[in-house]
Amino acid sequence: MDIPFMTLSRLAFGYWEGQPLYAMAELGVFDALADGPSRATALADRLNTSVDGMTRLLDAGVALRLLTRDPETDGRYRNSDLAAALLTSASPDTLIHWVRVMGRWSRPWSQLADAVRTGRTVEDQGLRLGDDPAYMRDFILGMHEYARRGAAELPRAIPLGGLRRAADIGGGAGTYAMALAQAAPSLHIAVLDLKPVLEITRAMVAEHGLSDRISTGVIDYAHDRFGADLDLVLMSNVLHQESDTVCLSMLGRARDALTPGGRVVVQGHFVQPDRTGPLFATLHNLSALALWSGGHSRTLQEMADLAARAGFTDISHGPVGKSGLSMVTGLRA
* Site for ligand SAM, rule CB under 6 A: 126, 140, 143, 147, 170-172, 175-176, 193-194, 197, 219-222, 236-238
CB 164 to ligand SAM: min, Å = 21
Cα 41 → chain centroid: 35
CB 162 to ligand SAM: min, Å = 24
CA distance 90 to 67: 17
In the bound state with ligand SAM, the residue whose beta carbon lies nearer, of 204 and 306, is 204
CB 88 to ligand SAM: min, Å = 22
CB 314 to ligand SAM: min, Å = 23
In the bound state with ligand SAM, the residue whose beta carbon lies nearer, of 61 and 171, is 171
> Closest by alpha carbon to 91, among 37, 42, 145?
145
In the bound state with ligand SAM, the residue whose beta carbon lies nearer, of 61 and 172, is 172
CB 55 to ligand SAM: min, Å = 37
CB 254 to ligand SAM: min, Å = 13
Other CB atoms within a 10 A radius of the CB of residue 228 amount to 11
CA distance 176 to 193: 13
In the bound state with ligand SAM, the residue whose beta carbon lies nearer, of 58 and 320, is 320
CB 266 to ligand SAM: min, Å = 11
> Closest by alpha carbon to 15, among 312, 283, 246?
283
In the bound state with ligand SAM, the residue whose beta carbon lies nearer, of 60 and 141, is 141
Contact 58, 47 (CB under 8 A): no
> Closest by alpha carbon to 85, among 66, 59, 60, 58?
66
Taking each continuous run of H as one helix and of E as one strand, the counts in the chain are: 15, 9
In the bound state with ligand SAM, the residue whose beta carbon lies nearer, of 10 and 195, is 195
In the bound state with ligand SAM, the residue whose beta carbon lies nearer, of 20 and 172, is 172
For the chain, the straight-line distance linking the first and the last C-alpha, in angstroms and rounded, comes to: 62
Other CB atoms within a 10 A radius of the CB of residue 10 amount to 10
| 3-class DSSP assignment, residue 111 | coil
CB 137 to ligand SAM: min, Å = 11
CA distance 153 to 265: 13
Q: What is the CA radius of gyration of the chain?
A: 22
Q: DSSP letters along 56-110, please?
A: HHHHHHHHTTSEEE-GGGTT-EEE-HHHHHHSSTTSTT--HHHHHHHHHHHHHHT
In the bound state with ligand SAM, the residue whose beta carbon lies nearer, of 197 and 328, is 197
